[in-house]
Amino acid sequence: MKYFNAFVMIVSAILYGSCQLKVDSGSKKPHILFIAVDDLRPMLGCYGVEDVKSPGIDKLADQGIMFLNAFSQQAWCSPSRTSLLTGLRPDKTRVYDLVTNFRDATPNAITLPQFFKSNGYKTLAFGKIFHSNMDDTVSWSIPTWEPKVIDPLKHYVLSENIEAAKNRNGYATPYERANVLDDDYPDGQITAKAIEALEGMDGRPFFLAVGYYKPHLPFNAPAKYWEMYDDDNIDLPQNTARPIGSPEYAFLTRSEHHNYLGVPPLPSGTPLPDSLTRKLIHGYMACVSYVDAQVARLLQALEDRGELEHTIVVLWGDHGWKLGEYGSWSKHTNYDVDTKVPLIIKPSGKVFVNAKVKSIVELLDVYPTLVSLAGFEIPDTIEGKSLLSLIESGGNEENVAFSQFIRNQERNYTTYKDAEVIGQTVRTDQFRFIRWIDKKSPTTILATELYDLRKGEYEMINEALNEAYSEKIRALSELLDKNFHPEEFQGESFD
């Protein structure tokens, strides 16, 4: 309890908002509700995007701490999730792709749910927590539950889409609007099963992980969520050009949206037609509102049971997602639009703070933060740091975030084994610096990028060759040298 009491006192003095507190007085360990959302960028009402209707998540943000500058360690599902769940960076887990299991390189890693399981918690998972088909069985008290459908990510309910998907590896249209109930799609089913599990708890503290598939493509959601928005009122992205001076490694030549029916095979970096762009953004927003409704159901179930007050709640997106920015879609870059994520943490105890932390944090920090909030000592084997120390400093630490991505020469989807180039990046409060290195010769730098984010919201002009920034580049290069050590693993085969 000493960790939580300190947290409460600090939050009450934080820069933004006011608070009323009711602190748990018993010795029982708090429950944990761990909500992961696939492909969710910080496109929520609580993050200032007023056009998006997300009252459930907004309410959670009002009751907790919202981190305005949180970044993933890689803008791809499995590497990002693995890093958060192990508390280790990709260079330790050796997970840079969608086919590698972290247990190959780090068999003795203690995952976040495994830590709580070993400390008396009942740990359960519903939906996508680890990457699909890579669940870590030792992390859970019972096997992970996923919807009984062919592919939860590409699940259609309309017959024409079901038929179209049969001969296309599951890919039909990039969106679906159907007059069905929430539970006719996988995310509604996940919510129902998680609530059912809550009703069967045995009194032990629980770590309940709920992983939603949307707003991942295809943008399929019940019609009532589509009806919240109108194509005519959806703004087109303003920055559709690639950053001036960016190297060819910066973007993929082809992204996942190209797999779907009705998406023209335009060259990478060429914006889609305006009508299709608006429809896709409409679909993404509908899916965000659909997932938001599921989050609200979960929180209401906890409140109805009288357990919300005694539950730590964390909600996070595994990476960002482009909605036409840079003339591109999906994730897979080292830029803010793909690495920046929503992160909201509500501690146990009745806290109404509406607190916003501006300092840079990493998803890597979630593991130690939950451990310390629950009153345990942080394992010395993990690489993240508790965010309690950030709040103790007044929320103004000059932190940095590190991310990375792999590429092959064709710049399409690749495994680490077949990758030839690694992009390493550091994000400070004012700059993003990226260097692309030869995987086989890590000291060989193939390209560099420096973006002065004081000049605008997005990375738009590469200043790497601007002599005025030479000292800044030197300092940021040193930061990368201290953080990334891929040469230590040359010759090891964790592919």
d(CA 290, CA 273): 26
Phi, psi of 175 (to 5 degrees): -160, 155
User: What's the chain's Rg over C-alpha atoms?
Assistant: 22
**Eight-state DSSP code of residue 153:** G
Q: How far apart (Å, rounded) are the C-alpha atoms in residues 375 and 101?
A: 30
Under a CB-based contact definition with an 8 Å cutoff, are residues 360 and 76 in contact? no
Copy the structure tokens of residue 406.
Answer: 């792999």
Nearest 5°: CA angle at 420, between 414 and 422? Answer: 90
CA pseudo-torsion sign 375, 377, 378, 379: negative
Separation of alpha carbons 137 and 305, rounded Å: 28
- Please say whether the beta carbons of 401 and 426 come within 8 A: yes
Q: Rounded distance, CA 177 to CA 168, Å? A: 20
Separation of alpha carbons 79 and 77, rounded Å = 6
Spatial contact of 98 and 77, defined as CB atoms under 8 Å apart = yes
Contact 451, 459 (CB under 8 A): yes
Do residues 76 and 31 make contact, with C-beta atoms less than 8 angstroms apart?
Answer: no
- d(CA 353, CA 351) in angstroms, rounded, equals 6
Q: How many CB atoms lie within 10 A of CB 75?
A: 28
Catalytic residue set: 77, 131
- Can you point out the beta strands (E) in 80-203? 122-127, 175-178
- Specify the pairing of strand 340-346 against strand 329-330: unpaired
Whether 265 contacts 282, CB under 8 Å: no
Rounded Cα gap, residues 103 and 93, in angstroms: 8
If you count DSSP H runs as helices and E runs as strands, how many of each does the chain have, helices first? 14, 17
Return the residue matching tokens 């209401």: 300
Q: What's 324's DSSP letter?
A: S
